[in-house]
């Protein structure tokens, strides 16, 4: 396909700033210190550059100075005091004609934009190890049975409905949460060679506390491990085994609710004068006599106004970290502490984080706009459904979807929409705006989870699924892989996707290659992102740190080859295998698709 006369993309020539180390040169360790930041603009584009930052709610100004120049661009530097734990800021660029351009987290604007999309500088950061991680989510009941299965099967509680490993979950009906396939913690330990082969170095376990279901979000206690999973001793054994392999384990904590058979809730029902009574929202005007998660009476909601509840949950948080967990994923964090006129979510996040050591992790489940909850003082990051999963699903969805996906998309009574590369990138940039860069890097890029359809069922083909995996492993954030994705597991909705592991190969080889790339790259772990081309069917972007530059190309279909102006001599193929030459400062990227390519820039 000829591209004679086709001009290279000019996206890389525009003004750019992000929170990576090339642009944030100094970040103070304490309030009262100064931050030093830079912005790059095309040479001759600006006569003057000013930084607007916010102090105690009021905008302030800092004039920028030229830091350095090349033949094509000028870097401007500004310094400002950090008087608050998180400081919003943006750039004002004054052109030669006197016109103004504003640069914030969503890009360049010709008008004064609202504050919600500003860049944010925060003092706090998450654990450094997390940024070089790939997280592997395990739903214990469906991962692997251990040698203890026979003994466990003779001690089932009355609620459990035994199922064979090669059966699919019923998926609908009263037995859905009670189906017991028999996976346990020792089964995970016996399959650690698989986790190591994949290259994941962090395991996220869905809840392991005793409960009345196999999903275990209806905990009856936070003080011990469910005997059906092997009990406390099985957890100790697993943690010792993963520690020997350099792998961390994250727990799953429900800070929004307990189960209705939880010892705290039973105590509250027995005695209206008990301390536990204040842990919940009792109200005779409510259908069940108390508030519960989404009106499900088996999940009574916690009232964080109780000082005793705060003390006990802080103790629970610390107890299991001391036992060897490396951090927590917080279930429905967006609802925790929120009820009618009560708004305590930020306080809860700060309370839980205060119980953590500096090298322990706190990630929030949040299916929607998580930005107001990520200010650098509470959750380190969020599960990025809104700014990664849903945009990628819309861009890479197959032509024909399973009926469930055609009828409903994230609770909306319509199917998965079709989107362009332009809309996908716009959504990704929007949800990275308005939060500290560290929060974006510590958030999880996920293609699916135990609460969603499997991405392979959404993409409809192996080729499109691998384009999604390429995006997952090379976008800002920490990749989270739901166990089974690498084996090609499918499923049209959450429970359908919780199928037992088939223990085959399928996509494993490509996952191994992409996970290895992600974990070996400084640019992918900590670097900034600049888009080189954004079209309907293809998106190209740079991931850059002070030590490394990578060029990535994701294509959902065949497209016109993309021409990108680069200050580079050579592109080294890292993934995808396409050889690309740089002639006269322009690289012509291939037009095949569905395909994913990565090159290292010399």
Length reported for the chain? 602
Assign residue 73 the CATH number of its domain: 2.60.40.10
Query: Would 131 be classed as within a structural domain?
Result: no
Confirm whether 563 is domain-assigned. yes
Question: What is the mean predicted confidence (pLDDT) over 132-160?
Answer: 94
* Secondary structure of residue 552 in the 3-state scheme: strand
Q: Is the pLDDT of residue 275 over 60?
A: yes
Instruction: Note the pLDDT of residue 5.
Output: 53
Residue 553 lies in a domain: yes
Confidence at 445, pLDDT banded by 50, 70, 90: very high
The total number of structural domains that make up the chain: 3
Spell out the residues 6+ positions from residue 341 whose beta carbon is closer than 8 angstroms to its own: none
At residue 30, does pLDDT exceed 60?
yes
Alpha carbon 599 to chain centroid, angstroms: 24
Per-residue confidence (pLDDT) for residue 2, from 0 to 100: 42
Q: For 321-353, how does the pLDDT look when each residue is reduced to its tens digit (9 = 90+)?
A: 999 999 999 999 999 999 999 999 999 999 999
For the chain, the average pLDDT equals 95
pLDDT of 7 strictly over 80:
no
Task: Report yes or no on 92 lying in a domain.
Answer: yes
Q: What is the mean pLDDT of residues 16-29?
A: 97
Asked, for residue 423, whether it belongs to a domain, the answer is no
Final residue in a domain of this structure, among 68, 95, 122: 122
CA distance 173 to 57: 51
Q: Domain boundary residue among 301, 329, 360?
A: 301
Percentage of residues in the chain having pLDDT higher than 70: 99
Assess whether pLDDT exceeds 80 at residue 528: yes
pLDDT value of residue 155: 85
The alpha-helical segments, DSSP class H, found in 411-521 are 421-432, 437-442, 455-459, 462-474, 494-497, 508-520
- For the domain that residue 567 is a member of, what is the CATH number? 2.60.40.1180
- Give the end of a domain, one of 276, 301, 326: 301
The tens digit of pLDDT for each residue in 396-406 reads 999 988 888 88
What are residue 577's phi and psi, to 5 degrees? 85, -5
- Which SS3 state, helix, strand or coil, does residue 373 take? helix
Q: 315: helix, coil or strand?
A: helix
Describe the chain by its helix, strand, coil percentages, rounded to 5. 30, 25, 45
C-alpha 193/C-alpha 527 separation (Å) is 30
Residue 308 has a pLDDT of 98
**Is residue 328, in this structure, part of any structural domain at all?**
no
Q: Which tens digits make up the pLDDT trace of 206-251?
A: 999 999 999 999 999 999 999 999 999 999 999 999 999 999 999 9
Compute the distance between CA of residue 552 and CA of residue 26 in angstroms, rounded to an integer: 28
Does residue 317 register a pLDDT over 80?
yes
366-371: average pLDDT: 95
* The predicted structure's pLDDT at residue 1: 39
Residue 277 resides in a domain: yes
List Cα–Cα distances, 113 to 103, 120, 503, in angstroms. 9, 15, 51
- Tell me: pLDDT of 489 over 60: yes
> Computed from CA positions of residues 431, 436, 438, 442, in that sequence, does the dihedral angle turn out positive or negative?
negative
Q: Which domain holds residue 276?
A: 257-301
pLDDT average, residue stretch 253-274? 98
Q: Measure Cα distances from 397 to 406, 418, 457, 554, 560 in Å.
A: 11, 7, 9, 14, 21
Please check whether residue 534 lies inside any domain of the structure: yes
């Amino acid at each position: 396909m000829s591209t004679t006369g086709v001009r290279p993309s000019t996206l890389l020539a525009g003004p750019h700033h992000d929170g990576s180390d090339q642009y944030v040169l100094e970040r103070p360790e304490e309030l009262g210190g100064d931050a030093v930041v830079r912005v790059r603009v095309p040479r001759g584009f600006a006569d003057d550059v000013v930084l607007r930052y916010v102090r105690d709610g009021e905008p302030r100004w800092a004039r920028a100075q030229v830091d350095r120049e090349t033949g094509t661009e000028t870097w401007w530097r500004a310094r400002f005091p950090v008087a608050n734990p998180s400081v919003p800021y943006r750039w004002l660029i004054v052109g030669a004609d006197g016109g103004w351009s504003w640069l914030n987290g969503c890009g360049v604007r010709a008008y004064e934009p609202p504050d919600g999309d500003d860049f944010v500088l925060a003092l706090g950061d998450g654990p450094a190890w997390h940024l070089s991680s790939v997280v592997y989510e395990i739903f214990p009941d469906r991962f692997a049975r251990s040698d203890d299965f026979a003994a466990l099967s003779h001690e089932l509680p009355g609620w459990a409905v035994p199922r064979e490993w090669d059966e699919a979950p019923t998926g609908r009906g009263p037995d859905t949460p009670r189906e017991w396939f028999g996976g346990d913690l020792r089964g995970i330990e016996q399959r650690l060679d698989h986790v190591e082969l994949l290259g994941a170095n962090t395991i996220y376990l869905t809840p392991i506390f005793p409960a009345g279901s196999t999903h275990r979000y209806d905990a009856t206690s936070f003080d011990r491990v469910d005997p059906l999973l092997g009990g406390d001793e099985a957890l100790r054994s697993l943690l010792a085994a993963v520690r020997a392999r350099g792998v961390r384990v994250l727990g799953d904590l429900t800070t929004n609710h307990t189960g209705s058979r939880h010892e705290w809730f039973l105590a509250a029902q027995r005695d209206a004068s008990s301390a536990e009574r204040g842990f919940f929202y009792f109200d005779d005007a409510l259908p069940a006599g108390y508030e519960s998660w989404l009106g499900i009476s088996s999940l009574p909601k916690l009232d964080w106004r109780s000082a005793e509840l705060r003390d006990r949950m802080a103790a629970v948080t610390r107890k299991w970290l001391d036992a060897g967990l490396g951090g927590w994923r917080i279930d429905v964090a967006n609802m925790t502490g929120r009820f009618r006129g009560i708004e305590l979510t930020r306080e809860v996040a700060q309370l839980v984080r205060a119980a953590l050591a500096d090298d322990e992790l706190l990630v929030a489940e949040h299916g929607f706009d998580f930005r107001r909850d990520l200010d650098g003082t509470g959750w380190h990051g969020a599960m990025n459904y809104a700014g990664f999963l849903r945009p990628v699903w819309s861009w890479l969805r197959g032509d024909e979807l399973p009926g469930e996906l055609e009828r409903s998309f994230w609770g909306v009574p319509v199917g998965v929409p079709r989107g362009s590369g332009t809309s996908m990138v716009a959504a990704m940039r929007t949800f990275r705006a308005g939060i500290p860069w560290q929060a974006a890097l510590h958030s999880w890029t996920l293609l699916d989870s135990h609460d969603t359809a499997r991405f392979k069922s959404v993409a409809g083909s192996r080729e499109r699924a691998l384009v999604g995996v390429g995006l997952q492993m090379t976008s800002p954030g920490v990749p989270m892989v739901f166990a089974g994705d690498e084996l090609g597991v499918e499923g049209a909705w959450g429970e359908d996707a919780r199928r037992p592991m088939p223990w085959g190969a399928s996509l494993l080889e490509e996952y191994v290659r992409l996970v290895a790339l992600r974990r070996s790259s400084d640019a992918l772990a900590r670097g900034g992102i600049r888009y080189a081309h954004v079209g309907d069917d293809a998106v190209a972007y740079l991931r850059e740190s002070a030590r490394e530059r990578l060029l990535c190309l994701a294509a959902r279909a065949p497209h016109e080859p993309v021409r990108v102006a680069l200050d580079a001599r050579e592109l080294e193929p890292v993934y995808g295998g396409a050889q690309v030459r740089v002639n006269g400062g322009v690289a012509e990227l291939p037009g095949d698709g569905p395909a994913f390519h990565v090159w290292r820039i010399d």
